[in-house]
A and B are shown apart, each in its own frame.
Chain A
Amino acid sequence: MRVTNRLFTLVSGLLLLVGSTLLQATPQIQTWMTPAGVPVLFVAAPDLPMLDVRIAFQAGSARDNGQSGLASLTADLLDQGAGEWDANAIAERLEAVGAEMSIEAQRDMASASLRSLTQQPALNQALETLAQVISQPRFAEADFERMRANVLTSLSRDEQDPGTLGQKAIYRRIFGDHPYAAEPSGTPDSVAALNREDLARFHARHYVARNAVVALVGAVSRPEAEAIATQLTAGLAQGEPLPPLPPVADPPTAVLESIAFPSTQTHVFTGQPGMKRTDPDYFTLYVGNHILGGSGLVSLLMEEVREKRGLSYSVYSYFLPLAERGPFIAALSTKNDQGQGAREVLMATIERFRTQGPTPEELTAAIKNITGGFPLRIAGNGKIAQYLAMIGFYGLPLDYLDRFNDRISAVTAEDIRDAFQRRIDPARFATVMVGPAVKAPAQAQP
């Protein structure tokens, strides 16, 4: 017999799932403001003697203001010297107590993440270090020169990877003049033009209480969590609110960029502006894309491109929701003589889905997958901390996780068809192809 979804003998003592309604408490989010005015989202997780911290600032590359790479290099420099400690001292303070810290700038957000044991003095030493790093970075000239040189090496290395080249190019084509067009790490020219004063100014303007949110998950009590959030934000200047980002414009016509590259595969990227994090169509487009190209081995794109035709190892589509409309991108890579053919299959699959929407079976399967997998999304302190930072940063409702499954389940096939027709227009997609088979006009090279 085939395995079906009939009721298996349930292992006793385990949770029973009824339909898509999960009889499991989602994390209880507690919120408050620190004395500095920074919103805090906290989930108590007493089982493991550890704490996860994420502090998010509106300090991503969308704020580069023409100096591409500025936000990213600023984030890179924070742990290279702060207050009385140099880079060695910061590394030693964290690693001597087994703490892990990372700081990264993406397009909207720069975030500092810290994971520490909760025992003392490990926790205090780690928190003290994080607080200093976000509020008192040195931006010393030698550290700046070294880190900038390493970013330039990294950017040069990106140029030997056809996938990375294509990824950067499709963002440029989709977003045109909008700040989302630029790769957060910048370009060789833009990074070479930065100086340490630029970084110090960027930090002073953006790493401020007005633009911060704190997420905490771990084995601390509410009073302890309050004290921690206060400690972490006490050194931040109050700051000024940032102006909103400009809206993302729709590209007027389809565009095709060919990038010559001596690879054995041709990489195809195609897409357009997609949706905002707070988009009214968010759940509809999310479920729709899950069916189209977001569900790994069982997506329509995987079925058409890989399972039926063996054209590509990797094929997918995604919406990256941002403060303003982030991208919708579909991509694959295939041996060079199949590049055009694979692209046609990709486009035909997107077009068919846009015209017809999902079948009832496809929709049911997707909803079961997403809602049935909900416990996996929130299994682990690290995952919950990421959700908290996202909810806080984008101002999503605090019951976002509680209502997640209900909102997924409410999506209909007609909603998806309607939303894709309104929002997705393959006739105006930007497309980038990277590979040697592409006869590139010289001026099309980046």
Chain B
Amino acid sequence: MKSRLLLVTALALPLVVTAEAPKVQERLLDNGLKVLVKEDHRAPIVTSQVWYKVGSSYEHGGLTGVSHLLEHMMFKGTEKLAPGEFSRIIAANGGDENAFTGRDYTAYFQTLAADRLPISFELEAQRMRFLTLPEEEFLKELEVVKEERRMRTEDDPESLAYEQFNATAYEASPYRIPVIGWASDLEDMQVADLRNWYRQWYAPNNATLVVVGDVNPEEVFALAEKHFGPLSAEPISAPKRGGDPAQRGEKRIKVKAPAKEPYLLMGYKSTAIGHAGEDWEPYALEMLSSVLDGGSSARFSRELVRGAHVAASAGASYSAFSRLPGMVLLDGIPAQGRTIEELEQALLAQIQRLRDEPVAEAELERIRNQLIAAKVYEKDSVYAQAKQIGSLETVGLGWQLMDDYVEHLNRVTPEQVQAVARKFLVPDNLTVALLEPQPLDGKESKAPNPGGHARAGH
């Protein structure tokens, strides 16, 4: 991080942090596996993460959820490991392990005492190429994933609304696909689907190995060569991009589900790093999102939750670092005695203000200082550092951005924030979803209350 003089209102506070991070070291094995190592000697531990370039945005109708289901099956046996044995070996070595699937990646990690790294490599190399996918294990795990979907989505009204919201906002973009998959596709899933998916995407040349911790990079490279080097590469076809057509007007849906509180979701289609537009636009959108919701001093907390008290909670999020263009996402729950329409109007007024007037320099300075501090705090966790390296690399932006993005954000001006607000946060680009609570006793709502839900007391 280059040190810049940052002025803070009233304090003239230059937040210049001198803890220079050791650089990431990179090695490409002959089979295409990229190995990224970052030293961190604060504690005698290491985190090892294998990131595959595959996730729900690589899927298509009929096959949704296959990436996530395959992630579950990666614990269910290889040619040399019985089902569950992977986890038992990691546990016996004091390791902490898990895996996660997103739109753009599927990742597996172990965090352990630094001298146990060879165990992690040996096991991960096994399941990179030699997964067995036994039918009887698949059938049980499919039921587990259906239970996961019931728990996370079917029985969570806000999660249901979010799923429908994405499927409405995105048309051709595979970001419309829920990571866990549609229930009907899970019903139809066959073990052969997973075998094909595994063959198609699980190979060293479609993976990144990230190691952060109390290690020597050269020794990690040698260890990686030993365990992963013998694995064969596969021809990997680049995923289709599936770009959305231009949106031609606001889209609006209602989601009815048993619930007590209404919930509002609003999204403006936008861009991401590496997509159309000026290079600075995604960074300006990141800063815009922090102006709205970058802490308790940001506009939503200050003006909507406190100030007007129209929201019990209100959020804004955006990620510049996705494989495909995403949305500037707003969400909120009305405060007691306020309607969801009032909340929507308040959020729209906030957006209008971003278009009408440049944000204050002091707001951007506060965000810059938060970013600088967050970069320091992040170093308290080897896991968080590795996750950032792995995700940047896997969405196709390159780990180098980890060191540079704060600088990109620091350069964003109030005029640029206003410019992206005017370009992307426009009514024709908007999708709105309203969760309309239905009675929890299972009876039909007698008088449907379109959109609104003013509370009568508590």
Contacts and interface: CB of A to CB of B under 8 A. Distances in A.
Interface in B187-220: 214-216, 219-220
Nearest to A80: B306
B147 A372 contact: no
Interface string A184-213: 000010001000000000000000000000
Contacts of A154: 312
A350 B294 CA distance: 46
Contacts of B97: 297
Interface in A358-407: 365, 368-376, 378-382
Given A146-B306, A150-B312, A157-B261, A312 B157 contact: no
Contacts of A380: 43, 380-381
A193 to B, nearest CB: 11
A50 to B, nearest CB: 5
A36 interface: no
A88 B297 contact: yes
Contact of B45 (A8, A50, A333, A375): A375
Interface in A1-58: 1-3, 5, 8-17, 24, 47-50
B140 A3 contact: no
Residue of A119, A334, A371 with most partner-chain B CB within 10 A:
A119
A91 B336 contact: no
Name the interface size band of chain B: 35 or more
A48 B380 contact: yes
A309 interface: yes
Nearest to B156: A161
Given A88-B306, A298-B91, A150 B376 contact: no
A98 to B, nearest CB: 3
Given A3-B122, A313-B145, A333-B151, A48 B376 contact: yes
A153 B333 contact: yes
A237 interface: no
A15 B84 CA distance: 28
A306 B19 contact: no
A421 interface: no
B92 A365 contact: yes
B197 to A, nearest CB: 20
B445 interface: no
Given A2-B85, A119-B15, A368-B92, A10 B115 contact: yes
Nearest to B214: A14
A12 B117 CA distance: 12
A423 interface: no
Given A160-B157, A335-B147, A295 B119 contact: no
B458 to A, nearest CB: 4
B42 interface: yes
A327 to B, nearest CB: 21
Contact of B370 (A16, A98, A378): A98
Interface in B64-115: 75, 80-81, 83-85, 87-89, 91-98, 111-115
A373 B94 contact: yes
Residue of A161, A188, A264 with most partner-chain B CB within 10 A:
A264
Contacts of B75: 297
Interface in B1-57: 8-9, 11, 13, 15-19, 42-45
Nearest to A162: B155
Contact of B114 (A11, A264, A297): A11
Contacts, number: 279
A419 interface: no
B261 A156 contact: yes
A95 B370 contact: yes
A258 interface: no
A122 interface: yes
Interface residues of A, number: 93
B427 interface: no
Nearest to B75: A297
A159 B118 CA distance: 47
B143 A16 contact: no
Contacts of B442: 262, 436
A228 interface: no
A97 B369 contact: yes
B151 A314 contact: yes
B260 interface: yes
A17 to B, nearest CB: 6
A91 B302 contact: yes
B45 A122 contact: no
Contacts of A91: 295-297, 301-302
A265 interface: yes
A15 B91 contact: no
Interface in A167-195: 188, 192
A400 B17 CA distance: 34
Contacts of B118: 8-9, 11
A142 B362 CA distance: 27
Given A15-B114, A48-B379, A152 B458 contact: yes
A117 B377 CA distance: 8
B432 to A, nearest CB: 20
A374 B261 CA distance: 43
A15 B87 contact: no
Nearest to A263: B155
B91 A295 contact: yes
A264 B150 contact: yes
A160 B261 contact: yes
Interface string A297-319: 11000010011111111100000
A99 interface: yes
Contact of B88 (A119, A310, A335, A365): A365
A15 B145 contact: no
Contacts of B83: 307
Contact of B376 (A24, A88, A117, A376): A117
Contacts of A309: 140
Given A11-B219, A50-B376, A152-B458, A2 B114 contact: no
A98 B374 contact: yes
B96 A376 contact: yes
Contacts of B325: none
Nearest to B139: A310
Contacts of A369: 91-95
Listed from nearest, the 5 A-B pairs whose CB atoms lie closest are A372-B94, A98-B373, A310-B140, A310-B143, A91-B297
10 contacts: A17-B116, A50-B376, A96-B365, A98-B374, A122-B15, A159-B440, A261-B440, A310-B140, A372-B116, A379-B43
Interface of A: 1-3, 5, 8-17, 24, 47-50, 79, 87-88, 91-92, 94-100, 115-117, 119, 121-122, 125, 146, 149-150, 152-157, 159-163, 188, 192, 260-265, 295-298, 303, 306-314, 333-335, 365, 368-376, 378-382, 436
Given A50-B376, A371-B94, 7 more contacts: A13-B219, A47-B42, A88-B302, A88-B306, A117-B15, A159-B440, A310-B144
